[in-house]
Structure 1
Amino acid sequence: MSAELILASAIFVAIGLILAGVFVLTRFIGPRNENSQLKNNVYESGITNPIGTTNIRFSVKFYLVAISFLLFDVEVIFMFPWAVNVVELGVAGLYKMFIFMGLLFIGLIYIYKKKALSWD
């Protein structure tokens, strides 16, 4: 083995042991209020007695919009390196990007047909 690999492994193990030690140490040193009624109360912006329940259900449309955003945001992450290296990739890279964009467009059509983008 090389000296750099042994040093990196030792540093990795040392950091892991230090972190584990810190977590164990804070468990013993830190304050404990496990059964405090005040700790279990709801606190929202200074309002100690909120109106209604805090266990409300959100519409699934919020999650669909968030997942759709992440899906099409990842598209940009893949398009940027392609745009930087478009000359080196040549025609084959252009065809591959057209296929990628086509698949994403099919996904957008699917989302539109399922009415995930329409808001009631």
Structure 2
Amino acid sequence: MLQNYFPILLFVVVGLLVGVGPIFLGWILSTSRPDAEKLSPYECGFEAFEDARMKFDVRYYLIAILFIIFDLETAFLLPWGVALKDLGMPGLITMVVFLIELVVGFVYLWKKGALEWE
């Protein structure tokens, strides 16, 4: 009966070793020297605060949304470039229209000052 469940057991053991092993190995081998620079916030640029209702600058979120929009543009360009032979001229025209729309949006945002951080 153990022979039937051996592949499942092996899969679970290997999964645990791959998932937990590097964490445990890093904890064993690493040195811990915390200082003020290592413990400071670095992701969003804001210092830690106590009140959860503190207002954030809207420009941070605007830049993040704009990054996502223009990042998705490149996500559409890769499959289009791979399939361009099969799509032919209609596919080329469609992507040119898409790129023109994005460029017009980018110029509009630039002129409105949405990309200025100050």
TM-score by structure 1 length? 0.54
**Alignment correspondent of 1:15:** none
Q: Which residue of the other structure, out of 64, 78, 82, is the alignment partner of 2:80?
A: 82
Root-mean-square deviation (CA, aligned residues, Å) is: 2.0
**Alignment correspondent of 1:101:** 99
Shift of the 57–88 alpha-carbon distance from structure 1 to 2, 3 Å rule, reads same
Structure 1 residue ranges without an equivalent (≥5)? 1-44
More relative contact order, 1 or 2 (CA 8 Å, 6+ apart): 2
Q: How does 1:50-69 map to 2 (within 5 A)?
A: 53-69=51-67
Q: How does 1:1-120 map to 2 (within 5 A)?
A: 53-120=51-118
Give the count of matched residue pairs: 72
User: 1 or 2, which has the higher helix percentage?
Assistant: 2
One-letter amino acid of the structure 1 residue matched with residue 65 of structure 2: I
TM-score by structure 2 length? 0.55
Structure 2 residue ranges without an equivalent (≥5)? 1-38, 40-47
CA distance in 1, matches of 2:64, 2:91: 30
CA distance in 1, matches of 2:117, 2:76: 29
